[in-house]
C-alpha cells in the first residue's frame, strides 16, 4: 500500500460538521443519563436501538448492511471496482455504564459522515468504503474487551465469546440473538484493504498542546496481572509490630514499585494499581490477604519485557525478605501495536492538506484498530476531548474539533480508496 494524496479536485472537500454533531446528539439520546452522558451497554435493548438507528441512516445513503456471527456490522458503499477489498472505518457504539456521547460513537458517525459527504458531492471511489460497528468494545457488560474485533481477527474464538456472561448470567450468544444481531457471515470472512479509526483522544495531550489533530503512530502494549499477598490475620492491638505478617504493608511496597518501574522507563512507561481488595477489611484486624491489579504499559516491546522482568525480580526479593506468600497471575497481554506507515502518512498528509496543526500521540488506551491492524494496514486519528476526560458522563468535545477529525478521515480514506 502506498501513501497517496487525494485528487486535487477534492482538496476543498469538507464534511458537514453540523450534520455530524446532530447525528452524535441523536444517537447520544439513546440511553441518555441525567448528567449528560450515555449508558448503552453491549447487546442491551438500548444497544439494539442504537444499531437500528445507525443502520437505518446507512441504508438511507444507499449502503448495504452485513452482520457477522459476533454481531459486527459492516455498512458498505460500493466503488467502481467492487472486487477490491474495501477501505474500512468505524469504531463502536456500546458505552460504559457511566459513559459519554463521543467515545467510539464518534468513530462510527464520522465514518457515516464521510459517506454522506461523498454521496452529496457524487464522488465515486475506486474501492468500496465500509463503516464498521464492532461488538462489545468496552467490555463493561461482557469480557473480553474489544470482543467483536478480537473474534474477527482470530485473537480468540467465537465459542469463547459466545460463552461470556454478564452479572445476571446472560450469555453473549443468546443476547445477540435476542436483539436480532447474530448474523450469518463467518467472523473474519470479510476482507479489509485498509482501516482508519477516528477517536477522541481520551487523554489531555492534544488539549494541553492546543493541537487539533493527533496522528497516532502506535498504541501502548500492556500486561495485566492479579497479585495476591497472603499474610496472617490477628488482632491489631495485642500483636507486636515485629512479629506481624501484615499482607497490606507488603502489598503497599509492591504497589509503590509498580509506579517506580514505570518511572524508570520514560516517556511511555505506565504503571497502575487500580483495584484493591483487603481481607478481612476490618478496622482492628491485621490484613491477612490482599488482592490487587497491576497494569504495566509501554510502546516498546523490549521495554515492556524489561518492566515485567523488573516486577518479577522485585516480587522474588519481597518473598525472600518477608516470608509471605506472593502470587502473580498474568491475566491479559497485548503487545504494542505500531500502525502501518502508509496509513499514518495518509493521516498526516490529509491534516497538512487541510491546514490543521498536528502532533504525534501514542495511544494509551486500547481500540478496535489494534485488532484490525493484524489483518490490514491501519491508522488512527485523534481529536481533543475536554480536560482529557473519557469513560465519564461529562465527556465532551468541541464540534469544530470533531469536524476537523472527520475531514482528515475523509481525505485519508480517499487516499486509500482511489488506488487502482
Confidence at residue 2, expressed as pLDDT on a 0 to 100 scale: 45
* Edge-first strand listing for the sheet containing 129-133: 64-67, 73-77, 129-133, 87-91, 194-200, 378-383, 213-216, 358-360
pLDDT for res 16: 98
CA distances (Å), origin 18, targets 7, 21, 266, 350, 393: 25, 5, 40, 21, 22
Question: For each of the chain's 420 residues, which pLDDT tens digit applies?
Answer: 544 444 444 678 999 999 999 999 999 999 999 999 999 999 999 999 999 999 999 999 999 999 999 999 999 999 999 999 999 999 999 999 999 999 999 999 999 999 999 999 999 999 999 999 999 999 999 989 999 999 999 999 999 999 999 999 999 999 999 999 999 999 999 999 999 999 999 999 999 999 999 999 999 999 999 999 999 999 999 999 999 999 999 999 999 999 999 999 999 999 999 999 999 999 999 999 999 999 999 999 999 999 999 999 999 999 999 999 999 999 889 899 999 999 999 999 999 999 999 999 999 998 999 999 999 999 999 999 999 999 999 999 999 999 999 999 999 999 999 853
Say what the pTM is: 0.89
Torsion sign over Cα 255, 258, 264, 267? negative
- 10 Å CB burial of residue 172 (0-12, 13-18, 19+) is buried
Phi, psi (deg, nearest 5) at residue 228: -125, 125
Q: Which three cell numbers stand for residue 248?
A: 497490606
Which pLDDT value is given to residue 112? 98
Give pLDDT, residue 394. Answer: 97
Q: Which of 245, 230, 209 is nearest to 327 (CA)?
A: 230
3-state SS, the chain, equals CCCCCCCHHHCCCCCCHHHHHHHHHHHHCCCECCCCCECCCCCCHHHHHHHHHHHHHHHHCCCEEEEECCCCEEEEECCCCCCCCCEEEEECCCCCCCECCCCCHHHHHHHHHHHHHHHHCCCCCCCCEEEEECCCCCCCCCCCCCHHHHHHCCCCCHHHHHHCECCCCCEHHHHHHHHCCCCCECCCCCCCCEEEEEEECCCCHHHHHCCCEEEECEECEEEEEEEEEECCCEECCCCCHHHCCCHHHHHHHHHHHHHHHHHCCCCCCEEECCCEEEECCCCCEECCEEEEEEEEEECCHHHHHHHHHHHHHHHHHHHHHHCCEEEEEEEEEECCEECCHHHHHHHHHHHHHHCCCEEECCECCCCHHHHHCCCCCEEEEEECCHHHCCCCCCCCCCHHHHHHHHHHHHHHHHHHHCCC
pLDDT at 418: 83
Residue 259: partners with Cβ closer than 8 Å, 6 or more residues away:
271
Burial pattern 38-67, b for ≥16 Cβ within 10 A else e, equals: bbbbbbbebbbbbbebbbebbeeeebebeb
pLDDT score at 12: 83
Domains of the chain: 8-219+336-417 (3.40.630.10), 221-334 (3.30.70.360)
Amino acid at each position: 500500500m502506498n501513501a497517496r494524496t487525494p485528487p486535487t479536485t477534492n482538496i476543498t472537500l469538507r464534511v458537514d460538521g453540523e450534520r455530524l454533531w446532530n447525528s452524535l446528539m441523536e444517537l447520544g439520546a439513546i440511553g441518555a443519563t441525567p448528567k449528560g452522558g450515555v449508558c448503552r451497554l453491549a447487546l442491551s435493548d438500548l444497544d439494539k436501538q442504537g444499531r437500528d438507528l445507525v443502520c437505518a441512516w446507512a441504508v438511507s445513503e444507499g449502503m448495504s448492511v452485513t452482520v457477522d456471527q459476533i454481531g459486527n456490522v459492516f455498512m458498505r458503499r460500493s466503488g467502481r471496482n467492487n472486487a477490491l477489498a474495501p477501505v474500512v472505518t468505524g469504531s463502536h457504539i456500546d458505552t460504559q455504564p457511566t459513559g459519554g456521547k463521543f467515545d467510539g460513537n464518534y468513530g462510527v458517525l464520522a465514518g457515516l459522515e464521510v459517506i454522506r459527504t461523498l454521496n452529496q458531492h457524487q464522488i465515486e471511489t475506486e474501492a468500496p468504503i465500509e463503516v464498521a460497528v464492532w461488538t462489545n468494545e468496552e467490555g463493561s457488560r461482557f469480557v473480553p474487551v474489544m470482543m467483536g474485533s478480537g473474534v474477527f481477527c482470530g485473537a480468540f474464538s467465537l465459542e469463547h465469546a459466545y460463552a461470556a456472561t454478564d452479572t445476571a448470567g446472560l450469555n453473549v450468544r443468546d443476547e445477540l440473538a435476542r436483539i436480532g444481531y447474530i448474523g450469518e457471515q463467518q467472523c473474519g470472512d470479510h476482507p479489509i484493504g485498509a482501516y482508519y479509526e477516528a477517536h477522541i483522544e481520551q487523554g489531555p495531550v492534544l488539549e494541553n498542546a492546543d493541537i487539533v489533530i493527533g496522528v497516532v503512530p502506535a498504541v501502548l502494549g500492556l500486561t495485566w496481572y492479579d497479585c495476591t499477598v497472603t499474610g496472617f490475620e490477628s488482632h491489631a492491638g495485642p500483636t507486636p509490630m515485629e512479629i506481624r505478617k501484615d499482607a497490606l504493608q507488603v502489598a503497599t511496597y509492591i504497589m509503590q514499585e509498580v509506579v517506580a518501574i514505570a518511572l524508570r522507563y520514560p516517556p511511555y512507561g505506565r504503571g497502575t494499581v487500580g483495584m484493591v481488595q483487603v481481607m478481612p477489611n476490618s478496622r482492628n484486624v491485621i490484613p491477612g490477604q490482599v488482592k490487587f491489579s497491576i497494569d504495566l504499559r509501554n510502546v516498546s516491546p523490549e521495554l515492556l519485557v524489561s518492566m515485567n522482568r523488573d516486577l518479577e525480580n522485585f516480587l522474588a526479593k519481597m518473598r525472600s525478605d518477608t516470608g509471605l506468600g506472593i502470587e502473580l497471575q498474568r491475566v491479559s497481554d497485548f503487545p504494542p501495536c505500531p500502525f502501518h506507515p502508509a496509513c499514518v502518512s495518509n493521516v498526516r498528509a490529509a491534516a497538512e492538506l487541510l491546514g490543521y496543526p498536528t502532533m504525534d500521540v501514542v495511544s494509551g488506551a486500547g481500540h478496535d484498530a489494534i485488532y484490525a491492524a493484524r489483518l490490514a494496514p491501519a491508522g488512527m486519528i485523534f481529536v481533543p476531548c475536554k480536560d482529557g476526560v473519557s469513560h465519564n458522563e461529562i465527556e465532551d468535545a468541541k464540534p469544530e474539533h470533531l469536524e476537523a477529525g472527520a475531514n482528515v478521515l475523509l481525505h485519508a480514506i480517499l487516499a486509500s480508496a482511489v488506488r487502482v
